Amino acid sequence: MFRRQLLRLGAASLSLGVASASVSLASCQELKLPPVGLGLWKSSPGEVHAAVRSALRAGYTLLDGAAAYGNEKEVGAALAAAIADGDVRREDVWVVSKLFNTHHVWQGDRTRPHAGLAKTLAELGVEKLDLYLMHWPFAFRQTDLKAIGGLRLADGTPNPQLEMEMEYLDTWGEMIKMKEAGLVAHLGVCNFTVEQLRKLAERYPDATPEVNQVELHPYLAQPELAAYCRQHGIALMAYSPLGSADSYSGQSFPAKGAGTHETPRGGATLLQNEVVGEIARRLGRTPAQVLLRWSLQSGFVPLPKSVNEERIRANADVVSWELTADDMAKLAELDCGFRYSIGYRTGHYDVSQPTSRRPARPRLSAHANGAAQGPNCPWTRTA
């Protein structure tokens, strides 16, 4: 049922090149995913059109969108304009979207996922998605989030009015039908733990996800999850590869960072990390490029978000050079299980999946999501 297709990438991918031999994740190569995609989360209507046009001109061939990002109409319009202007051919672009929690199967109602896909296809103005991902393993009862005051509170924590269930098995069954109907070419999940991937594989042994998209960067390398995915041929896509400095998930930053580098919400931004900076200076690269190259060499497909033309171009220039094993080892030292994005339910990340290889410092309290803060996290939590 899920025979993996080898998609051919056309001329538009050439300027970005293909992943180097050191990128070892078998399923990335099997799927022929591009080495880097444009992240569309947090790109507002009004700015995302220009970002998509810039990215497609710069050689990006993967647009990582989602219904929940609220910008699919504009993404679709930009894609259509790029095709009309001859920048790119539709068949050369991976158009990716995600089924949000509002459109899971809810208490036996199996119509919701199909309504979610129909809306996304209509807004994007495409007949078929190249990759459709389940955004989270949670179902919400509410479909109108505005009516309850939005998805999250101002501090980034989930709106307590949300009624939710851990539901992904029935929803995945409906997603399989979408593939069978020819509406999506490939299927995957996001934010899944090893335990959830295992449960899905038990129920659907012949139709396992081809992709798991999760938060991945040197502070959150997720070695156990990466090993599982590698072993089972699941490609890993990395969101927030630059440390998501503009993330709304303010609560996941320490209330006040004691390190020298802080974002407006406190905590440390990877882009200003000293280890990253030292490697970047030595190689004549930017910190962002070092982080993206780390992601590539770790076998991930990084999805940097940018709405700035120059940064969009620079973020793609990561395929023709390499980090040394020594630099990779230094970056591996930064892993401390720190998440910028909060899950929707306590226990989602912290119980089922240890994220840190390092013991927590006794004087540091637990992270908001329960992950340990290791000795190499450049901050202390004071709250």
**What are the catalytic residues?**
69
Task: Number of residues interacting with ligand A2P: please give it, by CB under 6 A.
Answer: 19
* β-pairing verdict for 164-166 and 138-140: antiparallel
What is the x/- site pattern for ligand A2P, positions 39-78, by CB under 6 A? x---------------------------------------
Among 25, 82, 288, 377, binds ligand A2P (CB under 6 A): 288
Residue 234: how many other CB atoms lie within 10 Å = 24
Give strand ranges (E) for 222-352.
235-239, 301-302
Separation CA 337–CA 216 (nearest Å): 10
Instruction: Select the span of 109-117, 146-154, 244-252, 255-263 touching ligand A2P (CB under 6 A).
Output: 244-252
Q: Is 315 in the site for ligand A2P (CB under 6 A)?
A: yes
Q: Is 365 in the site for ligand A2P (CB under 6 A)?
A: no
Which residue, 104 or 217, has its beta carbon nearer to ligand A2P?
217
Separation CA 348–CA 158 (nearest Å): 13
Which residues make beta-bridge pairs with 152? 158
Q: Is 298 in the site for ligand A2P (CB under 6 A)?
A: no
Q: How far is CA 327 from the centre of its chain?
A: 24
**Minimum CB–partner distance for residue 327 and ligand A2P (Å):** 18
Q: How far is CA 253 from the centre of its chain?
A: 18
Helix (H, G, I), strand (E, B) or coil at 121: helix
Separation CA 358–CA 17 (nearest Å): 36
- Residues with Cβ within 8 Å of 147's Cβ and at least 6 positions away in sequence, in order, are none
Among 101, 244, 252, 353, binds ligand A2P (CB under 6 A): 244
What is the x/- site pattern for ligand A2P, positions 214-233, by CB under 6 A? --------------------
Q: Tell which positions 107-136 bind ligand A2P, by CB under 6 A.
A: none
296 torsion bin: left (phi>0), alpha (psi -120 to 50), beta (else)? alpha
Q: Is 293 in the site for ligand A2P (CB under 6 A)?
A: no
Instruction: Select the span of 139-147, 182-190, 302-310, 372-380 touching ligand A2P (CB under 6 A).
Output: 302-310
Q: Quote the tokens at residue 52.
A: 């998509």
What is the x/- site pattern for ligand A2P, positions 332-361, by CB under 6 A? ------------------------------
* β-pairing verdict for 164-166 and 235-239: unpaired
Could you report how far apart the first and last alpha carbons of the chain are, in Å? Answer: 51
Among 243, 257, 266, 267, binds ligand A2P (CB under 6 A): 243
Q: Tell which positions 261-280 bind ligand A2P, by CB under 6 A.
A: 271
Please report, as ranges, the residues that interact with ligand A2P according to CB under 6 A: 39, 240-246, 271, 286, 288, 304-308, 311, 314-315
